[in-house]
Structure 1
Amino acid sequence: MSESFWQDVYAKHLQHPDYGYPLRTPEPMSTLPQDYQDNGLQIGDVGIVDSDGQFDVLFNICKRSDNPLHENHGVPANFQPVQHGDVKSSNNAISASPVYSHGIRRILQPENQRSADYEFTTSARAGAILILPQGATSAKLLSPEQFREVAMESAPDWYEFAKKRYGVQQLDRSLYLITGFYKTRSWSLGSFNNPTGATGKIWARRNDSHPNSYPLEFEFPADPHHMDDASGSINQTVFITGFKITFSSWFQQPIVLKVTESETTWSKLVRFFMTCFSRLRSIPGGHKQRTVISKLRR
């Protein structure tokens, strides 16, 4: 199966209303500047989630155009850095415990002869799990809606900039704007998708030579990964919060939603009819009445 398949499975089943969108590959890309290698993703980053589930940073809306991050590829047209406002931070945002999807149940007293530190059973055909031996820290904007307005105004320029770097097919018509994150030093994660209905147990045992590493083992086909950063840096981003910016060749305006939101059928219909009306007005002899478009409230 492709890498993008596994990221889709992992994200679908582990996306959390409080934590945000999960990354199957939490480490920062090796091509990023040293401060990213040391600290991981940052508030204001704009980029895509690639097929491995790793966040590829295009630029940061809070950094100047001459920042080292922008040296290789530059910034979009009409780029102006913005102030991100107050940030709320927490050193124990997620406790040192597993996060897992519906259908997975933790066995609090493992019965496995191999003395597993964590043991689970699953009744679901598909799911995902994340173990954080040292928990996770977090940082979030207190007023993220400011970033939504910036995204709505600048998204067309961002999309054109991204197209030049990735092409339309790899871009998949979506960008992400980070307003917060959850980071850790070490993690173990895995996902599974078994159409045949194969289920069973899942274990995680501490690696004696790496005390903060708990590799996952499955009784059935799965996609496990783990990391114990010996440097001690809290630079592994396991969840991001922010906005997903989706473009459509039919609709005139991009869709900007929180990463845990979905566009409703009603809002799709409203946007569809607004677009049709706008295009009719552009036809010679069409209706010239001024249209007032109100922001939908959910």
Structure 2
Amino acid sequence: MLPLEYRKQGVSIGDVGAINDQGGFEYFFNILLPAHHPCNQAGGVPDGFTPLSVNLRKEEGSTSPGTHITNPEWDTCRTRLGYHEAEMGNELHAALRTGKIPAEVGYGFRFDFKSSEGAILILPEEYISEDNLNEDDFDNYAAANAISWYTHINNVLGRRLGGNSLLLVTGVDKTSAWGVASFVHAEKGTVNMSMVPNSHTQSKYWFCSVSCATARSGPSRNNLKTDEPTDEPLDQCVFVRGVRVSVSPAILKNSSRMSVKTDSLRELSTGDILSRSRFIPCQGNRARNPELPRPQENGGKRDPGRSVLPEIETTVTTDRIPLKSLPYHPLAIINEHLLDKHPTADVVLSHDNCWFSLIENGENSLPNDVELLRRVRDKYDAVLSNGAAMCKILGVFLLTWMDTNTQVPDANFLNI
């Protein structure tokens, strides 16, 4: 369970986490908060953790209620619903009069799509956008601490992350309510949906009708409960931007060794044995206590009051624990490529705005991996400046080694 303080604010700048199998953000700790802060208490912080001390500069923006983001945009038609098209009780009419339901939303919207596939994000209430402007401070801090992050998350928290998984959040878009829908292989012109406010459903806004698409809305009303009934915090993160933090396979192997104690099979039931039968390649070191009798001593009988566990102590050490599969992300492909091309680098950092710049005008889908890496090679040119090897592209720099005045212990790093 995430700390209450964290759930009140949602994903924030400075969070270190990973994208899970469901596409959500798995939070571990925040680099801007002290170790004793409630948001850093659930999973703890890495050994030697010191928060980044920086005067955080943010670029902020906001958008009015009733916004929607869709792809393809030109095939979408939005229509405001009228009074006669919505089923609204007295509560919602009162909420509309008092502004608790934005006037821009009114009785809701209907969306019609001409395309056979697409997606839409509906933001019925205001949402804010925040982006960190202290890029150098964040990059240097991540480069200096990336290895300890992976060590803590894999060894202490037992997450089994690959070395290309961590995200340091540098920007968020947050709101208090949302709706998402997607469709594929639909007959053109058959997809439509209506989203309206409602006081009796699980979320404040819901899709009252959906044709040929999958849709859901949130958050649930349980998540909206606060000390102030009218207070609906902007704690729902709909977009996250950040720095992909990767470490070399050799570094990950050395920082992710695990030692565990084992149970004697004699002390386990058949059900316990079968439930623990997943294979993990390992090496075992067994030490027998010479002062205790062997199991077959004492006339071949075992004292029922004596456990076998104190007689045999086995420690299993492994560095071949299968890693979690990584959801697709362009930066993961780019970082893996950079690690292959620069084997002396221990850490690779790449920013989301890097792959944003690789998408060409008019493209509705991501290029395949081969084309993506071709664009990386075509757009980057290596130069040397102030003791750092750099690749400059469109005002973005790739650092392969920092000057001697920068404190990064035993780690080369690449930074896009």
How would you bin the TM-score normalised by the shorter chain? Answer: 0.5 to 0.7
Opposite residue 294 of structure 1, the aligned amino acid is A
2:7 paired residue number: 37
Aligned pair partner of 1:79 in 44, 49, 53: 49
Aligned-partner Cα distance in 2 for 1:225–1:109 = 18
Opposite residue 78 of structure 2, the aligned amino acid is I
Note if contact 2:63-2:126 (Cα within 8 Å) is conserved in structure 1: yes
Aligned-partner Cα distance in 1 for 2:54–2:375 = 29
Aligned-partner Cα distance in 2 for 1:123–1:172 = 42
Aligned-partner Cα distance in 1 for 2:116–2:142 = 37
Aligned pair partner of 2:373 in 235, 258, 265: 265
Counterpart check, 1:220 vs 2:328: no
Aligned pair partner of 1:142 in 133, 138, 149: 133
- CA spacing shift, 1:143–1:126, aligned 2, 3 Å: farther
Aligned pairs for 1:156-167 (under 5 A) are 156-164=147-155, 165-167=157-159
Which secondary structure state, in structure 1, belongs to the residue aligned with residue 349 of structure 2?
strand
1:182 paired residue number: 173
Which secondary structure state, in structure 2, belongs to the residue aligned with residue 157 of structure 1?
helix
Which has more radius of gyration? 2
TM-score, normalization by structure 2 = 0.50
- CA spacing shift, 1:109–1:44, aligned 2, 3 Å: closer
Opposite residue 218 of structure 2, the aligned amino acid is H
Q: Which runs of 5+ in 2 are unaligned?
A: 87-106, 227-231, 250-335, 359-371, 394-416
Which secondary structure state, in structure 2, belongs to the residue aligned with residue 296 of structure 1?
strand
Note if contact 2:3-2:41 (Cα within 8 Å) is conserved in structure 1: no
For the aligned residues, what is the CA RMSD?
3.5
| Per-residue deviation, residues 10-31 of structure 1 (Å, max 9, x unmatched) | xxxxxxxxxxxxxxxxxxxxx2
| Per-residue deviation, residues 149-206 of structure 1 (Å, max 9, x unmatched) | 22233223222322233544x65831111123222222222333x2466651122122
| Per-residue deviation, residues 190-245 of structure 1 (Å, max 9, x unmatched) | 333x2466651122122144798321343114142322524322222222232122
Aligned-partner Cα distance in 2 for 1:72–1:36 = 10
Aligned pairs for 1:68-107 (under 5 A) are 68-88=38-58, 90=60, 93-104=62-73, 105-107=76-78
> In the TM superposition, what is the alpha-carbon distance from 1:139 to its structure 2 partner?
3.1
- CA spacing shift, 1:118–1:36, aligned 2, 3 Å: same
Aligned length: 245
Aligned-partner Cα distance in 1 for 2:58–2:78 = 34
2:233 paired residue number: 233
Counterpart check, 1:296 vs 2:391: yes
> In the TM superposition, what is the alpha-carbon distance from 1:45 to its structure 2 partner?
0.8
Aligned-partner Cα distance in 2 for 1:172–1:129 = 32
Opposite residue 34 of structure 2, the aligned amino acid is R
Which secondary structure state, in structure 2, belongs to the residue aligned with residue 148 of structure 1?
helix
Q: Which has the higher contact order (CA 8 A, sep 6+)?
A: 1
Aligned-partner Cα distance in 1 for 2:153–2:241 = 20
- CA spacing shift, 1:196–1:189, aligned 2, 3 Å: closer
Aligned pair partner of 2:110 in 98, 104, 119: 119
TM-score, normalization by structure 1 = 0.67
Aligned-partner Cα distance in 2 for 1:222–1:145 = 41
Q: Which runs of 5+ in 1 are unaligned?
A: 1-30, 275-291
